[in-house]
Amino acid sequence: MNELSYQRCNIGVTINHKRGDNKNQFAAVYLCIYYMIFIQLYHLVESQTCYIKVEDELWPLQWYLNKSVGDKYDMNVLPAWRSCINGTDVTVGVVDKGVQDHIDLKINRRFDFSDVNEGTVSSLQHGTRAAGVIGALKNKNFTIGIAFGSEIADIKIASTAVWDTFDVAAFYHHMDSIQVYSCSFANFHTGTKTYKLEKNQEDAFIRGTTQGRGGLGSVYVFATGNSGDVTELSHDSCAYDRLVTNRYVISVAGIQDDLSKVPNGEACSAMMVAAFTAKGGAQHHKIVTTNVRNTSTEYFNQNSAAAPMVSGAVALALSANPNLSYRDVMHLLVLTSRGDLPEFKQGNDFKKNAANLSVSSYFGFGLLDIGALVQRSQGWNKVPARESCNANMYSSCCKAVEEYYHLVEVKLCTISYTEHVEVTLKINHPHAGQIQWVLTSPHGTKSTILPGRLLDSTRYMNLTVLTVQMWGENPNGFWKLKPTALFDRNLDGGRVDFISLTVHGFDCSSSDLSCLKPAVQDESFFITPPPYEVTTDKTTDKSDKPDKNTKSINHSVIIIAVVLAVICVVIVILFVVKRKKKLCFKEKLRSKNSENSENYPTEQHIPLKC
């Protein structure tokens, strides 16, 4: 309620009260109530609706946010923007080789991790492009970022080729001020190397997720690599890179406009979500973004472009609800991503797990739906604290690799809702790197945790791998781990020294899990032209005033307005009834006094009908 409303109402009531004019006083009170209620409703409606008029030059080419003719899908960002959510008060750290100053970026240099002036201009190209996808400003220059109201932090590292070579402090740098760390890089994948998560590296993630954002946890978003071309001998999988497959990060895949995999995209059981990236060919299927020297580019592609898409979406979710923990963000992505699209039913290894969630090793839980993510974030109930249960191989000693399957039993575990499952394998075999391992949950959900690689000549493997594909299931029961020899190899002559399975999740028995049900998606988000105005005319008025045909009001606001109007009517009725009773009492008292008084006034009095 604004101060002016109170002033006007108080003045009216005070004046009429001094006059002693009951009718005018009633009218003033009625008008005040209606005035204040409807002024409040007006502000409520206005606060729920923003009018987006995008005038950035390359907006018509941003097909992944703005469906152009012939495109069936985009990532549904417009509902978030029209709800006035644009990333305000969120800072996204771009962990890369540097971000150059740009007229289309809002970079907060006090968060710089190292000297931005070091290195060549070309070395800043990759990071500057990633930053534009996240937060390019809405200012008629070049493109618009998903979270155009956010700030960019430049977390410049020495190298993005080898994980061991840069300071792990980058991942908790200004962790109370930087909410999201966007990482468009992975280890150098050759089809032969396996990258463990060293203790100092894991400690960095633990520090960020437990202490970052005041204890809510920093959000880490990682691209999963570009070495998955099955036609190449060096075909690789992100399963062998613990940098991007650990329980502290969100692993992102690139997906093409026709919902097919990027030709060299990698697959792994830790994949959580997919976002659009560039496809060769037609111009409108490229990713446009900021570039060095205050220019733009249409050549940003592969998983490097997909990860900042998700980072921008997470920035919007945190802008809508700053109290989300990093695990809340993961749950929201799982529950709102689109794994139910018709194209996914025709292949791409999508399957339903026992919790009725569609999931794929190529695309995680499906295509990023920014509008659903932001909407669900606003009314989200925090998930309970994380618990962990551990179980070792169902054997007292070593077992031959060639056995049909290996059992691990999880029992008496208080977890009833699974998030991440980690499996540690110690294998001694002449062709350990060429064996595929498939994990089956007690409910029958299968997950290929290690796909096997042709060039991998590893004999002794000691590796922890991650799967998210049992998300939402109860973990209690027998888990099966089945090896399969690939590339004309056999399983003879080796042994399994150790198998350990760790389940991370929580007990949902005392929690309201209504928020953890998969979202019921509205197909119109994707196939109906959205209500926005697009222009590239430089002479157009700068204001974002609404067009008569573009105004929309949230259904919840309409409901609130109706409820308040009813309350207003009830208040008025109660006020009238109470006032009438009071006047009736005075009238009876006056009548009684008039009968007993000899000095009754001679003026005419009209009795009140009570």
DSSP state of 539: T
Could you count the other beta carbons within 10 Å of the beta carbon of residue 604?
A: 5
Q: Cα torsion at 134, 135, 141, 142 (round to 10°)?
A: 0
Cβ proximity of 273 and 333 under 8 Å: yes
Rounded distance between C-alpha atoms, residue 16 and residue 476, angstroms: 73
User: Which burial class, exposed, middle or buried, applies to 396 when counting CB atoms under 10 A from its CB (0-12, 13-18, 19+)?
Assistant: exposed
Residue by residue, DSSP assigns 439-486 as EE-TT--EEEEE---TT---SEEEEEEEE-TTTT----EEEEEEEEE-
Rounded distance between C-alpha atoms, residue 576 and residue 554, angstroms: 34
Q: Cα torsion at 117, 119, 121, 125 (round to 10°)?
A: -100
- With H, G, I as helix, E, B as strand and everything else as coil, classify residue 247: coil
- With H, G, I as helix, E, B as strand and everything else as coil, classify residue 232: coil
Q: Does an H or E element contain 271, and which?
A: none
DSSP state of 216: T
Please name the residue that has the structure tokens 């994707």: 526
User: Which burial class, exposed, middle or buried, applies to 126 when counting CB atoms under 10 A from its CB (0-12, 13-18, 19+)?
Assistant: buried
Cβ proximity of 390 and 359 under 8 Å: no
Adjacent-strand bridge partners of 223: 252
Give the distance, in angstroms, between the CA of residue 340 and the centroid of all CA atoms in the same chain: 18
Q: Cα torsion at 339, 342, 345, 351 (round to 10°)?
A: 20
- Give residues with Cβ within 8 angstroms of 3, minimum separation 6: none
- Give residues with Cβ within 8 angstroms of 117, minimum separation 6: none
Catalytic residue chosen out of the listed positions 304, 311, 361, 441: 304
Phi, psi of 409 (to 5 degrees): -105, 130
Terminal Cα distance for the chain, rounded:
37
Phi, psi of 532 (to 5 degrees): -140, 165
Catalytic residue chosen out of the listed positions 96, 340, 369, 456: 96
Please name the residue that has the structure tokens 């969630």: 357
Could you count the other beta carbons within 10 Å of the beta carbon of residue 214?
A: 10
Cβ proximity of 509 and 422 under 8 Å: no
Report residue 403 as tokens. Answer: 């056995």
User: Which burial class, exposed, middle or buried, applies to 231 when counting CB atoms under 10 A from its CB (0-12, 13-18, 19+)?
Assistant: exposed
Based on the residue annotation, tell me whether 126 is a catalytic residue of this protein: yes
Cβ proximity of 388 and 327 under 8 Å: no
Q: Does an H or E element contain 190, and which?
A: none
HSE-CB at 250 with a 13 A cutoff on CA atoms is 34
Based on the residue annotation, tell me whether 189 is a catalytic residue of this protein: no
Cβ proximity of 368 and 275 under 8 Å: yes
- With H, G, I as helix, E, B as strand and everything else as coil, classify residue 424: strand
Based on the residue annotation, tell me whether 304 is a catalytic residue of this protein: yes
Catalytic residue chosen out of the listed positions 102, 126, 235, 504: 126
Residues with a catalytic annotation lie at: 96, 126, 304
